[in-house]
Amino acid sequence: MKVFSSEYTFDYSWEECSTANWRKYCPWNDKSTHVIAVDTLSREVDPATGILRTERLITCHQQAPAWVISLLGGSNTSHVYETSYVSPADKRVTMCSTNLTWANILQVRETVTYQPDLTTSSPGHERTQFTQDAKITAVCGGWQKIRTKIEEASVERFSENAKRGREGFEAVLEMSRRVFGEERAKEQAKLH
């Protein structure tokens, strides 16, 4: 098993990040064009805790090497199952995802959190701490050396995709701030 971990601080409030998170795979994000569909399977609020739990199926077009497809079969379409928990009381979003496609060969378990960055935020300038951890395990048979190579290559690709994902989410956050600001200005103008 190989582990990928990263941390990043977004220059946006937790409220902005937790709201924009639902738009992460929209046309504003030119870094996520590989995402074909996001289907919400279930969504419920726990009446005791106020935590919103959502299950989604994310369908992607991943460019797998041709030799992998010819050797293992399948296609360039892959599916990821995601469960997210939004706790307004704790100001925390936790998202857990796992690959469904080729899970008999490679298992990827990712956990992402967004929460206020209390160490660098100041009044009027709130920031959000983002953490991302992924455990990548080659479960295919064969020699350990082959499994290790598969895991290493997967961590490298995961790292590249994580960087693009952060860049894309920054674009979504920027556009969300602008659009919501314009809407607030329109509402204010109506009141005066």
The pLDDT score that the predictor gives to residue 67 is 64
More confident residue, 49 or 71: 49
pLDDT-based confidence at 170, cuts 50/70/90?
very high
Q: Considering the chain, what is the average pLDDT of its residues?
A: 90
What is the torsion angle, in degrees rounded to the nearest 10, for the CA atoms of residue 83, residue 3, residue 16 and residue 95? Answer: 10
Query: What stretches of 62-143 show up as alpha helix (H) in DSSP?
Result: 66-72
Query: What stretches of 23-131 show up as alpha helix (H) in DSSP?
Result: 66-72
pLDDT-based confidence at 68, cuts 50/70/90?
low
**In angstroms, rounded to a whole number, what is the distance separating the alpha carbons of residues 65 and 12?**
37
Least confident segment among 47-61, 63-77, 91-105, 154-168? 63-77
DSSP bridge pairs for 9: 129
Containing 165, the helix (H) or strand (E) segment is helix 144-191
Indicate the pTM of the whole model.
0.88
Average pLDDT over every residue of 74-92: 93
pLDDT-based confidence at 181, cuts 50/70/90?
confident
The pLDDT score that the predictor gives to residue 62 is 78
> Is 60 in a helix, a strand, or coil?
strand
Indicate whether 151 pLDDT > 80. yes
List of residues 6+ apart from 112 with CB closer than 8 A: 93, 94, 95, 97, 130, 131, 132, 133
